[in-house]
């Protein structure tokens, strides 16, 4: 009976996602020009047909992304395996057994909301940063939704202090969406997806100061609304790589992930608000509309 209810709910949410998709591409073309420009510049060798297919795939994924938090909201703990699968959890277990906290570097790729089920895979505390919304009611509802599986949600303004002040004798997993755009052009930049990209290095800075093991979350979508999460070690000695080295390894790994299924990254985000225009060829996205 429970399985039947889930299948009915899945059908309902997917139907809503299909409706949202047609709204996004037809009635209200949400940031379509930005998506086109970002994809065209990051994949300069792709044909116009390929770019159109990628854009369509992105908006289908974006529509799914909107409803996916609701899919796991009522999902029984034992049924989560039908939506998300964790691979290489033994890496996390070994690091925690060695009394090493883990800086888990995720990204705006796939369904990062599914990652909030991580406490079901480990006995240690899992902490994640969030940005509060202005509505107190909505903020409280989102916190209940996101902490359902045991994640400790920490306001972004308190994240650095909370992470650095965590008890040394109690290893924890610090989940960070590390591909955030900095508020201004910052001191670190690198070549990412064929573009000069300014980056935030707060996750790496915390890892170095706390001597956390740094782990990258590799994500694959295996079928609609279903994701495969794989833990990949970047380093157990963050001091040896330093902030810049950790971020370079992270962005190289993320680039590989994106190239595998490009439609799953958040292309409508203005990731390259700060970049050098020197030598950059203009992209006429209007011809692709």
Answer whether 250's CB lies under 8 Å from 190's CB: no
Of the given ranges (21-30, 168-177, 184-193, 219-228), which has the lowest mean pLDDT? 184-193
- CA 256 to CA 258: how far, in whole Å? 6
Q: pLDDT for 169-179, tens place per residue?
A: 789 999 999 99
Segments forming the whole domain that contains residue 224: 2-288
Locate 81 and state its tokens: 């395996």
Residue 168's pLDDT is 66
Q: pLDDT for 93-129, tens place per residue?
A: 999 999 999 999 999 999 988 999 999 999 899 999 9
Of the given ranges (85-89, 205-209, 263-267, 280-284), which has the lowest mean pLDDT? 280-284
Q: pLDDT for 237-283, tens place per residue?
A: 999 999 999 999 999 999 999 999 999 999 998 888 876 544 444 43
Residue 284's pLDDT is 41
DSSP 196: E
Mean pLDDT for the stretch of residues 50-62: 95
**Count: domains in the chain:** 1
**DSSP letters for 202-214:** HHHHHHHHHT-EE
């Amino acid at each position: 009976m429970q399985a039947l209810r889930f299948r009915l709910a899945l059908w309902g949410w997917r139907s809503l996602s299909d409706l949202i998709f047609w709204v996004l591409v037809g009635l209200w073309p949400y940031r379509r020009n930005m998506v086109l420009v970002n994809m065209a510049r990051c994949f300069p060798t792709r044909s116009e047909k390929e770019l159109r297919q990628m854009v369509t795939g992105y908006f289908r994924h974006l529509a799914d992304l909107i409803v996916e938090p609701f899919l796991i909201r009522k999902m029984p703990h034992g049924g989560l395996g039908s939506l998300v699968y964790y691979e290489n959890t033994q890496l996390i277990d070994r690091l925690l057994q060695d009394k090493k906290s883990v800086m888990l570097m995720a990204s705006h790729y796939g369904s990062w909301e599914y990652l909030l089920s991580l406490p079901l895979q480990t006995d240690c505390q899992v902490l994640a940063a969030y940005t509060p919304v202005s509505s107190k009611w909505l903020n409280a509802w989102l916190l209940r939704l996101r902490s359902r599986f045991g994640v400790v949600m920490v306001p972004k303004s308190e994240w650095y202090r909370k992470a650095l002040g965590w008890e040394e004798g109690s290893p924890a997993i610090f989940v960070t969406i590390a591909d955030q755009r900095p508020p201004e052009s910052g001191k670190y930049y690198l070549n990412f997806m064929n573009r000069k990209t300014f980056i935030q290095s707060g996750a790496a800075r915390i890892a170095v100061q706390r001597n956390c093991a740094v782990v990258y979350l590799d994500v694959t979508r295996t079928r609609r609304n279903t994701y495969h999460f794989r833990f990949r070690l970047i380093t157990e000695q963050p001091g040896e790589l330093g902030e810049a080295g950790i971020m370079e390894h992270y962005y190289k790994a993320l680039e590989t992930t994106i190239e595998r299924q490009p439609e799953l990254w958040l292309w409508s985000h203005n990731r390259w608000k700060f970049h050098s225009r020197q030598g950059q060829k203009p992209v006429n996205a209007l011809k692709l509309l």
